Amino acid sequence: MKFTPLPLKGAYLIEMEPHIDERGYFARTFCMHEFEAHGLNMHFAQMSTSFNHKKGQIRGMHYQEAPYGETKIVRCTRGAIHDVMLDIRPHSPTYMQSFGTVLSPENGKMFYIPKGFAHGFKTLEDNTEIFYMMDEFYHPESAREISISNYFDE
What's the confidence (pLDDT) of residue 42? 85
The CA distance from 120 to 122, in Å, is: 7
What's the fold here for domain 2-152? Jelly Rolls (2.60.120)
Q: Is the CB of residue 83 less than 8 Å from the CB of residue 11? A: no
Q: Is the CB of residue 134 less than 8 Å from the CB of residue 143? A: no
The CA distance from 108 to 17, in Å, is: 8
The domain segmentation of the chain, as residue ranges, is 2-152
Query: Among residues of the chain, what percentage have pLDDT more than 70?
Result: 96
Written as one letter, the residue type at 53 is H
DSSP state letter for 36: H
Residues annotated as catalytic are 62, 132
The CA distance from 48 to 72, in Å, is: 11
- Whether 150 has a pLDDT exceeding 70, the answer reads no
Mean pLDDT of 40-53: 94
Mean pLDDT of 58-67: 93
Q: Residue 143 forms beta bridges with which residues?
A: 64
**Nearest partner of 60 among 93, 13, 98, judged by Cα:** 98
